[in-house]
Structure 1
């Protein structure tokens, strides 16, 4: 029997892996936490393992979660240390409490639980995620180095064409090179400049908390989402990940403090989701190739 187990709360506006009020609690304290949880107010959203509820971490690196289900019912999830997920449904919270008591006493029976056939990735619904975002240096350096083979292939094709192709084909290919090469080089330069500027930045941001922590590589400082005055977004926000690396987000707070970071740190679409739709966002330099925001870095 465990005297105390670690428990934590997940609300419906939290992200997967986001929890609060995590601490060791006795069985009685845990049952009181379950009783005081606003079940009715938290219904109407996800009824899967990432839904709102109370998560308890067992001594065998296993987890029990009491969560919401359809029709005012409850789900009790059990995740064993091997990642196998089981679930049990009930309309009586007292029955769910008994499952919690059995879990504390190491007497939980899975005979009336339904086992999930697929078990990949369920652990991420129960464990804490750090929510620190930073530049993936290996990925970005690899991305920049991958541009070199394309340039070499292009030059090699130009050399082959100059020997075996008619003059008009060579002129056409040379003109195409003259037009596209500056764009290619500028794109590579932009990626490198943004990388060099942001490689040591880190940002802590979750959907369910008002706090923002930003580290520019020299020191970190805390801010509040509720203090955001507006956001200036330089570059395209809602396109594929590969084209928003150099999109720059400038967050301006009511006290005139600002923080700036690129899509290399946090994808713009995810950033917008996390700060909330009520924030005023100015979309700038949406279709500008040679962006002033990058030149000024």
Structure 2
């Protein structure tokens, strides 16, 4: 089973440690985690100061900080979310040990939470935070807002030419309208594309550094 750790400034899916452990290792990690220091900036959520245990078949048990000095276990099986809160850290150990032994939980001891329309998986699955423009075309990198504006400009162009024909006045109106709508966005996107084409950025909120490299395509 893998243990992975989150701190208060981490993004959803951002973890450190990521090592295989048994229950005794897990217990040591839990006891050495700076719970009270992390509690100072606590905002209770599924991405929170926590230690997550993950099985090989992607079952998750996350021990996290909770309200009023308490702790909470979140069990997630990619379908349902169960919770159980504790007044102190030691009270959670028997539940965690049960998970290590059975790779499951005793559902009679947990509360089934409503997860309607919630994207829970992002809070448990590790993300790599690699943002790459390699092999991306000009239009693939364009945001949907700019695409929408350019489409609107194209429709407006057809309307002008059908109604007034091709003349100087229509062209000036179109150019003016184009600059006010999608034109500026297009210019910014061209500049963005030229500067960031074939670049890879590794960046996350919890990391003290970021990594940027240029990818040479064969």
**TM-score normalised by length of structure 2:** 0.81
Give the corresponding residue for 2:51.
54
Q: Which has the higher contact order (CA 8 A, sep 6+)?
A: 2
1:59 CA displacement? 3.5
Cα pair 1:83 1:122 within 8 Å, conserved: no
Among 193, 203, 206, the alignment partner of 1:205 is 203
Q: CA RMSD in A?
A: 2.9
Which structure carries more helix by proportion? 2
- Label 1:10 to 1:161 Cα distance change in 2 as closer, same or farther (>3 A): same
Which structure carries more strand by proportion? 1
Among 108, 111, 114, the alignment partner of 1:111 is 108
Cα pair 1:68 1:74 within 8 Å, conserved: yes
Cα pair 2:130 2:201 within 8 Å, conserved: yes
- Label 1:73 to 1:155 Cα distance change in 2 as closer, same or farther (>3 A): closer
Give the corresponding residue for 2:37.
41
- Label 1:85 to 1:171 Cα distance change in 2 as closer, same or farther (>3 A): same
Where structure 2 has 5 or more consecutive residues not aligned to the other structure, the ranges are none
Among 59, 64, 69, the alignment partner of 2:61 is 64
Does structure 1 residue 155 correspond to structure 2 residue 157?
yes
1:174 CA displacement? 5.2
Does structure 1 residue 91 correspond to structure 2 residue 87?
yes
Q: How many residues align?
A: 208
For residues 216 and 101 of structure 2, the distance between their equivalents in structure 1, rounded to whole angstroms, comes to 49
SS of match in other structure, 1:92: coil
**TM-score normalised by length of structure 1:** 0.61
Give the corresponding residue for 1:20.
16
- Label 1:180 to 1:9 Cα distance change in 2 as closer, same or farther (>3 A): same
For residues 57 and 178 of structure 1, the distance between their equivalents in structure 2, rounded to whole angstroms, comes to 57
